[in-house]
Structure 1
Amino acid sequence: MSPTGRLARLQYLPGSFRQLSAGDHVVCAVSGVAIPLDALRYWSAELQEAYASPEIATRRLLGQPQA
């Protein structure tokens, strides 16, 4: 079981991720919002970053500034 309230360490892969250390969430690389692992849907394997929403992920990957 993952400890509640603990930051997980992940390796982001194309289409999946591997949990490297126990935890229940990661932090969005752009907004700083906590993302529960069961809600994590957007990340970059190349940049090894998680994103809280598809809009944030798209802007980040296109190099556009955040609104």
Structure 2
Amino acid sequence: MLMSNADRPARLHYMANGFRVLVPGDHVVCGVTGARIALEDLRYWSVRDQQPYATAQVSSEALAPR
């Protein structure tokens, strides 16, 4: 039986120039806001923290020095 990846969160390994899919799915969840991000829309993530971000602003705030 084939399993659909629709409506399932993916698990990714984030790298400097992309990401590798560890567990197939159709989206990830923003590490700050909890917003759902479709894989085709994923543009921002942290290699160090291994988490995705929904927008450039969320990414900048999360990665800003404290």
Give the RMSD, CA atoms, in angstroms: 1.6
Gaps of 5+ in 1: none
Contact 1:2 1:24 in 2 (8 A): no
- The normalised TM-score by structure 2 is 0.90
C-alpha distance 63-27 of structure 1, shift in aligned 2 (>3 A) = farther
SS at structure 1 position matched to 2:25: coil
Gaps of 5+ in 2: none
Q: Deviation above 3 Å: which 4+ runs of structure 1?
A: none
Percent identity between matched residues is 45
Distance in 2 between residues matched to 1:7 and 1:56, nearest whole Å: 20
- The normalised TM-score by structure 1 is 0.89
